[in-house]
Amino acid sequence: MRETLLIEQSKQGRKAYCFPPLDLPKGFQQALPPLPESIRREQPARLPEVSELDVVRHFTRLSTMAHGVDNGMYPLGSCTMKYNPKLSEHIAKMDAFTKIHPLQDVSTTQGSLSIMFNLLEDLSSITGMKWGTLQPCAGAHGEYTGLKMVKSYYEKRGETGRTKILIPSSAHGTNPASAMVNGFAVVSIGSNEKGQVDLEDLEAKLDDSVAAVMMTNPNTLGIFEQNILLISKMVHAHGALMYYDGANMNAILGMATPGEMGFDVVHLNLHKTFATPHGGGGPGSGPVMVNNTLRPFLPKPDILLTDSGYVLDWDGEDSIGKVSMFWGNFLVLLRAYVYILRMGSEGLRSASAHAVLNANYVAKRLCDVCEIPYGEQCMHEFVISLEEYRQNNGVRAQDIAKALIDKGYHPPTMYFPSLVSEALMIEPTESESLETLDAFILAFRSILAQAKEDPEYVKGAPYTTPVGRLDEVKAIKEPNLRY
Amino acid sequence: MRETLLIEQSKQGRKAYCFPPLDLPKGFQQALPPLPESIRREQPARLPEVSELDVVRHFTRLSTMAHGVDNGMYPLGSCTMKYNPKLSEHIAKMDAFTKIHPLQDVSTTQGSLSIMFNLLEDLSSITGMKWGTLQPCAGAHGEYTGLKMVKSYYEKRGETGRTKILIPSSAHGTNPASAMVNGFAVVSIGSNEKGQVDLEDLEAKLDDSVAAVMMTNPNTLGIFEQNILLISKMVHAHGALMYYDGANMNAILGMATPGEMGFDVVHLNLHKTFATPHGGGGPGSGPVMVNNTLRPFLPKPDILLTDSGYVLDWDGEDSIGKVSMFWGNFLVLLRAYVYILRMGSEGLRSASAHAVLNANYVAKRLCDVCEIPYGEQCMHEFVISLEEYRQNNGVRAQDIAKALIDKGYHPPTMYFPSLVSEALMIEPTESESLETLDAFILAFRSILAQAKEDPEYVKGAPYTTPVGRLDEVKAIKEPNLRY
Amino acid sequence: MIYPYIPHTDEDRKIMLEAIGLSSMEELFSGLSEDILLSDSVPISHGRTEDEVQRMIDSIAQRNVRGIPFLGCGCYDHIIPSTVEALSSLPSFVTAYTPYQAEMSQGLLQAIYEFQSMICEITSMDVANASLYDGANAASEAASLMVGAKRHASVVLVSSTLHPFTLQVLQTWAKGTGKSLRIVKEKDGVVDLSLLSSLLDSTCAGLIVQSPNRYGLLESYEGVAEILHEQKALFAISNDPLSLAMQKSPGQWNADIAIGDTQSLGLPLAFGGPSCGFMAVKEALLRKLPGRLVGLTEDGKGRKGFTLTFQAREQHIKRERATSNICSNQALAALMTTIHLSSLGWDGMLEAANQSYAKAHYLAYHLAQLPGMTLVWDKPFWCEFPLVFSDSKRLRKFMQELRNEGIFAGVRLSTLTRKVKDELVLLVAVTEKRSREELELYLAAARRVMK
Amino acid sequence: MIYPYIPHTDEDRKIMLEAIGLSSMEELFSGLSEDILLSDSVPISHGRTEDEVQRMIDSIAQRNVRGIPFLGCGCYDHIIPSTVEALSSLPSFVTAYTPYQAEMSQGLLQAIYEFQSMICEITSMDVANASLYDGANAASEAASLMVGAKRHASVVLVSSTLHPFTLQVLQTWAKGTGKSLRIVKEKDGVVDLSLLSSLLDSTCAGLIVQSPNRYGLLESYEGVAEILHEQKALFAISNDPLSLAMQKSPGQWNADIAIGDTQSLGLPLAFGGPSCGFMAVKEALLRKLPGRLVGLTEDGKGRKGFTLTFQAREQHIKRERATSNICSNQALAALMTTIHLSSLGWDGMLEAANQSYAKAHYLAYHLAQLPGMTLVWDKPFWCEFPLVFSDSKRLRKFMQELRNEGIFAGVRLSTLTRKVKDELVLLVAVTEKRSREELELYLAAARRVMK
């Protein structure tokens, strides 16, 4: 099955949509001058001219060439592809939320403001932090915001020499990139044999040029940093701050908080941990939570509860200012709020417990056929190395991943973190049942077996998709990025 | 791809849904007696015990093994598979309509009643009839209702000898069946060489034992009965009534009305002509429209507009009574009303004109490769005969139909009407564009060509579906109708 | 000339007309004589854009007023999981026709097979069809089945406690066909089966009863099947299927036919429609079952697959020899019920039924304490009960006062029967969806009025 | 212990723990020391059922009040075809991640490719990315791009007529990074480009302007690109993309970077988010473009297919050497815009823009006749215009009176800038969605207050 571009289906004069006729007085319409020629556009843009049914069929067919959590297991490590509740989708379509303008008088938006206010309170409890902002639109945007606050904090203190961010080498790419866009230099910290932060290396690199240490805990190997309290103490002792990347928060909900671990600033990914849909890449939401120290630097406006209801507070001279156009991705916040209401305190804790249970179960069931470099005991995800398959059979991690597609599974995250060679990072999430996990394990093992018996077959996968593996070099050498 | 039964995925204790805990006073709960043992059920029913995600994936996957108008062209003759507007679906989900109880005081249901009242008025205009009912839930249900009124009409007049319904041999099976369930005898009328009612045969069979003549016009060959006025005159002259089966109403909207043709009672199929979705077999809606003669016999209650708004009128001693539980399939009526509002008078006329244009175009483009027994000039649909392919190549109409599946088209109606051998009945509807028709024609012609060159291949179709042709004999001999 | 949902451009029309050999759109209708062709457009309004229609509908919608419904009588406000709307809206389900082409409709067919199975499980019967229009039509189809199943039988016994509308639909069914209904009267609010033997004769094809009945009361059918079967008459029981989580099922009463409406299993109120009738029968009646049936079979390669089966029973094959004229059914509503039951499971179904029972009894118990209204019959009920008021002025005031609190207090039986004697009877339905607060709001208002 | 969305039964847990070699769920967290493990549950409420949540949300929703919005300032109430919500809700789109696995994501990738193409067409640029967070962040990404594209440049020129929030986001962007903004002041409500040459020096990476600007006024950029390019500085224009149906596009002004937000193309108001930032650039800047890019290529059999491409630019590969940290974008919102534009076509887009223009001018023309408020600047505008009131008491009364008619009259500029001098400026936005009746209602109320 293939679907042509809609523009290729275009036919002059065909229409999928009509507007009501303009019903202003004739005289006015005739008298109304056009835009001055100097600023007037004359050339049309090439957009499809098709029927409504063409539009419907086009996107319906495209949807059949996509795979989401609703279609099958999606064990994409570090992305937490859990089930996105239908209730949240229903609520996010309510007119009372979709048809509210962000600049209406706050007396008319108390509903939306109360959801934001209460969501922030819940996220505070969950992270063990005191304050926060919902403005950032994604995880990386949260990092940007959090580090910007760190920057402002030191500027305010006059400690302008704090120009470095220490980041474990296994960190997500957004961490160093976010540090960079905020004008920090990035210094990498090594890992020890347990896959955790190398304390000696950390100690060696900690000095008064360090602004913050940015960590994910559990880290990207799915391993909990057991020395975290010690690390926080070391970092704070050097006057630096602790930044928590919430990408892996789904491992510890209700079990532990970044606040108790000593972190000063935390970003969350509502589209991971709080079950809002990923939408094919977004919109997400990346709230940032902080303790008292950083509160003055939070973006504007803050939401306050006053005697006359919720208000937007624009005061706060130390605020870093706005980080997005309005108040954040409200409809994503709404979905996350619905999820938290559903789960409640015990439900969130249970979600993490079962996410960890699932990961450990799969790891255990795979550990005899592939290497798990840092041991199979993990938190909510784990990383395997297929190096032996590469060396013995010429089959790479990518080949195994592609073969999973033919079995109906979305592949795990490939080649990350880079300290594991031929890595696949598997995160089942708590949404998957024992039966689904067993079926996945069976499929995975059968592919590994086939990789030994018939490596060429595996290297040619996938076979069941509309296209096979694509020529990525050609995509760059002969770029075709638009019709 | 195959999906196991959900019951096979069941696991004791797994839950997709929870209710709020019962919060009545403890004392009351303890004192509340259970149902008497003599009427109490003890044995559970075997229902799936699965997670919410299991439910979501199960039905999402099942939907990928189904084909609707949104997926591709659906030229299923006599079923009018036109585009179902997304606007109608949106409106049919509004709480203001879905959360209204049928027995609320009419002062609180003026919105729904006004939609029904206005829809009836529009349908009156469209059919050229004066009065009507929206209670019937489907076309056959409309036939049942209309013929019941015919029966009551004659009983009221004391003409109890009118026990026959004359029906052309090409009629839909529901026509004779509906006559039968109302206690009528069915007499078949022959067709002439033009595929129209044989007037001599009709005249021969008309006498005072005939209650009504039931016709579809255009008839099931897609041919307009040109003698309709004469037929009406003949029938009325014998004191019998004219019944119009609205299955093919999509051919003549705004061009002609059953009323002007002399019909006394008309049923419509909102799910065909008025673009409400077929839903995999229903719910439909089959309003019945009548002239003054039959008005007293309409089902109860009627909707009247009074000075105090819309009311349900239960008077009318000659009424046949109720034909469905409440007022009809309201959400289907609502969708049809939205469609009529969108189209307006000219739009409906245009729909029919283009439905006829499309059918004639496809017929013209196919007539050199297959026989169109009654000539290629047709109304909104036409019937081809593949008899020559059966005789020359051993390929049957069903084989051609199945081969179309592999090309992404839903097959036309097969083996109907029975007076055409190896019949396929093709109804493109106005929704399809020239390009889609051309692609369909190309596919159809290529299959016919292949039927000559490689008949075995065509006889083995389809090849791209989850299952091939199924053993229907086994389905009956070893019935497996439930888990 | 651009109309919605029609893709043709001027150019297209030209090309197509040329291909056909015509020079104008009008010529397409040359088969229609001038005295048939309309000279003028039909008198309905001009077309409107989406935005205009949505605005118009929004304004009409405001004329529907919602309240907290304690209304039942065949249509109940139960909790529906969010999965039901979300999944039943998938376009391949919504925009498909009846799955005549099995190979490209396996998903739809499987969903129907699962529906059939669940109905069988709930009713304890052997085989169920793919749905009928609604509960009332299921009753008339049952009557047809009975009459068709027994030679020379033309009488169907029906309980006077059937839902009034079901009874009306049955009366319509019998009208003019030579078939007739014979009413089995009630006693103390339930069908009086002691009359059965005397009413039953060789002309009787069978009996149709209902529980919960028109008053919401539960009936017992001990020994009824035996009496009927002795006379070769069939026994049909109509139930609210959700009540079958608590009360004995048709199969357990040894009935031959189980009927009802699945509205209480996942369908919104929707002003009464679409709902979804069902029918399940004993295996012996399989070939007499009306409507569509899906079966499991195999393809040439031995792969399991679903298909419509036993189609020879149906009108499109059997025509005037068919025993039912049903063609379209309520497939999408049946799908909603299937999703609903898949989500609830038996535990959920039982919970919904139990909570409805408890809450209805809580309300009934407290209302029964008030002067001016009584629960006349000491019979078991499930989620709906009849309150008899001492005078109609009081009843009217009661309903109005509760209305002022945003509560729809119940349905007057006379609304259904149009009979003066039923004007003092208020039927109050309470589902698991009614919160404690709503119950207390009802009681508080009731106490104010009835003190 | 049953929690929503967790499928595990007691039995499952037992089997799984056994397999792992643990005896309790607690042991799964044995890696967390006691001083980290929470002793108590976190202080948020207990879980609620679907019905309870829906009720709670329904009641919260009532605290949002809707009116007829004449509000704009970056978020507009345009007509959206029904196809947009229906198709963007298809579950395979909604519940997918970024299409890293091209073979199983062709549909998603193709939709993004179509989005990129449409943005290029509308802006007359060469290449567009798969979306950014919003219009304001598109501006800061443009600033980053500029600074990254020119050695030793750290200053970005920005028009004082940028949307106040965009300016604030840019100020945040510059904060603490050694980069800075240099404001190009306005004159008569539009950017004063006569100042450009004097402000431009070798430290300047480029200029960002906006049209329609913060007042709704349209700006002219004749000759600006040439001045900038001479200094190797880049030129970025931010537009409401719908306005580009009428006014010259960034490509036509010879800009290097086109930015903006597609909210006006198919996205609901939604309290301001999600919307969807976009960026398109000249081909030369392709490798400096932030965000994701989809390209068309072939598989081993020569079949065309779509894939994410030029990923080497992105943070997950380039890490601290990346020029942007963006990872998640607004893909589903971009899909909505793609469906919207597919439905409207160019004619529809032009019609929406033209009608907005006409209706805004109709309202402006009649309001300008009234005492106490003026349209200060005689500059072309599109669908939004600034009314300056003579005193703030009058303005407040004006807004309140219109509110009483159900009308949200406009946005006070001071709401955005928090500046006293802007308190008398009311920004009024009129889209094609505002009916004639609504316009007359506005005018009638305005006449009553301002007479």
ipTM comes to 0.97
Residues 15-74 of C with CB under 8 A from D: 50-51, 55
Eight-state DSSP code of residue B53:
H
Q: Is the pLDDT of residue A1 over 70?
A: no
Assigned superfamily of D68-76+346-450 = Aspartate Aminotransferase, domain 1 (3.90.1150.10)
Average pLDDT over residues A221-247: 97
A17/C contact by beta carbon, under 8 A: yes
| CB-based contact B432:B73 (threshold 8 Å) | yes
Q: What is the pLDDT of residue B316?
A: 87
Q: What is the pLDDT of residue D2?
A: 66
Do C50 and D82 lie within an 8 Å CB cutoff? yes
What is the DSSP code string of C310-362? -GGGSHHHHGGG-S----S--HHHHHHHHHHHHHHHHHHHHHHHHHHHHHHHH
Which residues of A are less than 8 Å from B64 in CB distance? 64, 71
Do B60 and D12 lie within an 8 Å CB cutoff? no
* Angstroms from A69 CA to nearest CA on chain C: 14
Q: What is the pLDDT of residue B223?
A: 95
Q: What is the pLDDT of residue B377?
A: 86
- 3.30.420.40, 3.40.640.10, 2.60.40.1080, 3.30.1390.20: CATH of B88-342: 3.40.640.10
Q: What is the pLDDT of residue D1?
A: 47
Q: What is the pLDDT of residue B217?
A: 96
Cα gap A240→A242, rounded to integer Å: 7
Which residues of B are less than 8 Å from A13 in CB distance? none
Cα gap B311→C399, rounded to integer Å: 19
Which residues of A are less than 8 Å from C10 in CB distance? 13
* CB atoms closer than 10 angstroms to residue B286: 34
Instruction: Please tell me which residue of chain C has the smallest CA distance to A12.
Output: C9
Q: What is the pLDDT of residue C451?
A: 81
Domain with CATH 3.40.640.10 in chain A: 89-342
| Peptide bond just before B466 cis, omega within 30 deg | no
C51/A contact by beta carbon, under 8 A: yes
| CB-based contact D258:D279 (threshold 8 Å) | yes
Cα gap A302→A317, rounded to integer Å: 12
Question: Considering CB atoms only, which of D4, D11, D86 is closest to B18?
Answer: D4
Nearest to A125 by CA among A349, A356, A357: A349
Enumerate residue ranges in chain B where pLDDT < 50: none
Say which range, A289-293, B181-185, D1-5, D26-30, has the weakest mean pLDDT. Answer: D1-5
pLDDT band, very low/low/confident/very high, at C321 (cuts 50, 70, 90)? confident
Token couple for B253 = 């909207």
Domain with CATH 3.40.640.10 in chain B: 88-342
Task: Name the E strands within B2-98.
Answer: none
**Cα separations (Å) of A279 from A72, B48, D330, D334?**
15, 30, 8, 10
Strands D68-69 and D407-408: parallel
Q: Is the pLDDT of residue A344 over 90?
A: yes
Cα gap D238→D234, rounded to integer Å: 13
Average pLDDT over residues A421-427: 97
pLDDT tens track for B22-68: 999 999 999 999 999 999 999 999 999 999 999 999 999 999 999 99
The CATH class given to the A89-342 domain equals alpha beta
Do B83 and A431 lie within an 8 Å CB cutoff? no
Average pLDDT over residues D342-358: 97
Q: What is the pLDDT of residue A236?
A: 98
Do D310 and A125 lie within an 8 Å CB cutoff? no
Q: Side chain identity at C118, as an amino acid letter?
A: M
Q: What is the pLDDT of residue C152?
A: 92
What is the CA angle A389-A393-A396, rounded to 5?
Answer: 50
| CB-based contact D73:D213 (threshold 8 Å) | no
Token couple for C138 = 């299921």
Average pLDDT over residues C116-135: 98
pTM here?
0.97
pLDDT band, very low/low/confident/very high, at C2 (cuts 50, 70, 90)? low
Question: Considering CB atoms only, which of D51, D433, D435 is closest to C79?
Answer: D51
Average pLDDT over residues A54-70: 97
pLDDT tens track for D391-405: 999 999 999 999 999
Q: What is the mean pLDDT of chain C?
A: 96
Average pLDDT over residues A181-204: 95
pLDDT tens track for B204-254: 999 999 999 999 999 999 999 999 999 999 999 999 999 999 999 999 999
In terms of C-beta density within 10 A (0-12 exposed, 13-18 middle, 19 or more buried), how is residue D284 classed?
Answer: exposed
Q: What is the pLDDT of residue C1?
A: 47
Nearest to D325 by CA among A157, A63, A136: A136
Do A323 and D172 lie within an 8 Å CB cutoff? yes
Q: What is the pLDDT of residue C40?
A: 86
B37/A contact by beta carbon, under 8 A: no
Average pLDDT over residues A53-69: 97
Q: Is the pLDDT of residue C12 over 70?
A: yes
* Angstroms from A335 CA to nearest CA on chain C: 14
What is the DSSP code string of B174-243? HHHHHHHHTT-EEEEE-B-TTSSB-HHHHHHH-STTEEEEEEESS-TTS---TTHHHHHHHHHHTT-EEE
Chains in touch with C (3+ beta-carbon pairs under 8 Å) read: A, B, D
Residue A423 bridge partners (DSSP)? A385
Instruction: Please tell me which residue of chain A has the smallest CA distance to D85.
Output: A93
Average pLDDT over residues C256-263: 98
Q: What is the mean pLDDT of chain A?
A: 96
Q: Is the pLDDT of residue C312 over 90?
A: no
What is the DSSP code string of C197-216? HHH--TTEEEEEEESS-TTS
Q: Please tell me whether residue C10 adopts helix, strand or coil conformation.
A: helix
B429 — alpha (psi -120 to 50), left (phi > 0) or beta?
Answer: left
Which residues of D are less than 8 Å from A43 in CB distance? 124, 252
Which residues of C are less than 8 Å from D50 in CB distance? 79, 81-82
Q: What is the pLDDT of residue D319?
A: 83
Which residues of A are less than 8 Å from C86 in CB distance? 86, 89-90
A258 Cβ neighbours under 8 A, 6+ residues apart: A127, A128, A129, A217, A244, A246, A266, A289
Average pLDDT over residues A88-103: 98
- Fold of the domain built from segment(s) D82-340: Aspartate Aminotransferase; domain 2 (3.40.640)
Residue pairs between chains B and C whose CB atoms are closer than 8 Å: 693
* Extents of the domains making up chain D: 68-76+346-450, 82-340
The CATH class given to the C68-76+345-450 domain equals alpha beta
C203/B contact by beta carbon, under 8 A: no
Which residues of D are less than 8 Å from C81 in CB distance? 50
Do D249 and A256 lie within an 8 Å CB cutoff? no
Instruction: Please tell me which residue of chain B has the smallest CA distance to C145.
Output: B181
Instruction: Please tell me which residue of chain D has the smallest CA distance to A478.
Output: D297
Which residues of C are less than 8 Å from B89 in CB distance? 89, 94
Q: Is the pLDDT of residue A261 over 50?
A: yes
* Angstroms from B52 CA to nearest CA on chain A: 8
